[in-house]
Chains A and B, each alone.
Chain A
């Protein structure tokens, strides 16, 4: 009886994820800060899994960050989103596949709004028609890019070159995940595992040999808070929230952090640097900090892609200690070289955070 009930609850937090023909939509933040991760996603889906992923040059920001900073009104947001949907149909695709958690949250919110307030949808139709002459339809399937990686996690495991196992001790690597608030906190049924027991990243880690740690502040916000980060006067809010997370995960000595949202990935990486420089405190790795990986980078490592082609030299927390634990073969001398081997100098060393040059 009991386990039946549990299975039922769990089944509420499973979602349908298309298995091919994706319409890929880029994330502003990921493009700017982790462009290599987006490229990695496309390489994995197209080259390794053989999927059809279409990308249009015509889509714009969803304006989600503007919406959550109150500089873009709801009507504008809905209409810009509807335009992106319209582009998808034009290209002959039905499975919308955004690479950003804020954006994913925007879509789930808009679908819910249109469901409860059909007049909002009609208004959006009118606006879009008037502004662009376009029509739109709601996508048949909406899946975040990490959902898709989750769906194919076992296929990836079957082709894996490496596992999340410490090559020196033979034990699974200890991994902490951070899901990003807007993935499932608004509409838990729209995320794998819901908001309380998020499984979208945990599933990857387990399939690839690692061990997930359910640290106490696992569900806490990274602290982005939109205006709370962008405005310097508020930034103390932002860093305080991440600090709380670091303090909570520190005792478990995690080997790395895996993230779902490009913004969170940025904060968990950069705030470790800022805290080291402000307070002289690092949260692990003998002063190197805890490496922070996007799920694309994590998948790419498992598949044996080159860390520098995936953009892992753009992290402020060095990833080499992790690469060495997994046993990834890489060429340290290529970290700061261009595509054709040109020497690009090196970043300056931080004062307190240890850093591999």
Chain B
């Protein structure tokens, strides 16, 4: 192979046809409110843990829908389970429960 002095950068896109949506599907089954999220970010804005870490519930949901399960699971560890986000969510997503389910999925792996 020829060395041109550079190579194509890897592209950070997720092909939804190819990624592992196992966790996403499991959550939808166990707590259908997961499907209601509109990614508004209210949860993240109000998040207690977010004051001390870069945790974002919204981002975590997003990661799960992109099949980035490992990342989502490790992020979920940052939550304090205070439940403030559940009060803020305009879509009645059962946010706190979803965190619990994500952590449980971790134990099952």
Contacts and interface: CB of A to CB of B under 8 A. Distances in A.
Q: A and B touching (C-beta < 8 Å)?
A: yes
Interface of A: 232-233, 235-237, 239-240, 243-244, 274-275, 277-280, 351-352
A172 B1 CA distance: 36
Given A239-B8, A278-B7, A351-B2, 10 more contacts: A233-B6, A235-B6, A236-B6, A236-B9, A239-B6, A240-B10, A244-B11, A244-B13, A277-B4, A278-B1
A278 B2 contact: yes
Contacts, number: 38
Interface string B5-37: 111111101000000000000000000000000
A236 B4 CA distance: 10
Contact of A279 (B1, B9, B10): B1
Contacts of B4: 235, 274, 277-278
A280 B1 CA distance: 7
Contact of B8 (A232, A243, A351): A243
Contact of A232 (B6, B9, B11, B13): B6
Contacts of A275: 8
A275 B7 CA distance: 9
A232 B5 contact: yes
A240 B5 contact: no
Contacts of B10: 240
Contacts of B7: 236, 239, 278
Contacts of A232: 5-6
Nearest to A274: B4
A223 to B, nearest CB: 9
Contacts of B1: 277-280, 351-352
Contacts of A236: 6-9
Nearest to A352: B1
A352 B1 CA distance: 8
A274 B6 CA distance: 10
Closest 9 CB pairs of A and B: A236-B9, A277-B2, A240-B8, A235-B6, A239-B8, A240-B9, A236-B6, A243-B8, A240-B11
A144 B45 CA distance: 48
Contacts of A244: 11, 13
